[in-house]
Amino acid sequence: MSRRGFRPGPGAEAIDPDVDLHVPAQRAEPQGRVLVAVAVGGAVGASARYGISLIWPAAPGAFPWATLWINASGCALIGVLMVLISEGGRSAPHPLLRPFAGVGVLGGFTTFSTYAMDFSRLLDEGEARSALAYAGLTVVAALGAVWAAASVTRLAVRGRGPGAETDPGPGRVVR
């Protein structure tokens, strides 16, 4: 079935919340602007990642802390960005924000290729324990960072920060 003919059923979530296929102009929107936004954002993110790796290089056989930090912090920023875009409650964000910041900048900043190269380098240098620790720690740190950042941002957006009064929900009383 073509994308034009697809209409999600009741309660179904849209595949791309930035595009409403019911709006003819958005169905036929040219992708050139999106590609440019992703490319420019990617150049910014990759340059930042490369700059950090120059400032904080991993010596031969050493644990690649810079890449771990980059991937974990980038995932945290992705969590914040996605909550702000999808649940921010304010006016709709610019349609190029997610392609530029999410896919481009943060996609270029966090990278599986550098993670894989660091893992391979550690194995080649006989540091199997470090390689396995790095592989596991990166996954845990990245997933934990995106979850924690999204959760905290979601609470802040909903006004449930520390000390804020909240709606206790049906049948519950705030004391």
**3-class secondary structure for 99-122?**
HHHHHHHHHHHCCHHHHHHHHHHH
Question: What are the tens digits of pLDDT across the range 91-145?
Answer: 777 888 889 999 999 999 998 889 999 999 999 999 999 999 999 999 999 999 9
pLDDT for residue 8: 52
Question: What pTM value is reported for the model?
Answer: 0.72
Query: Nearest to residue 36, comparing CAs of 103, 86, 85?
Result: 103
Question: What are the tens digits of pLDDT across the range 61-93?
Answer: 899 999 999 999 999 999 999 999 888 666 777
Question: What are the tens digits of pLDDT across the range 5-32?
Answer: 445 555 555 555 566 667 776 666 567 8
Residue 4 has pLDDT above 70, yes or no: no
Q: Looking up tokens 């930035």, which residue turns up?
A: 18
pLDDT for residue 51: 95
Q: Which residues contact 55 (CB under 8 A, 6 or more apart)?
A: 66
Residue 163 has pLDDT above 80, yes or no: no
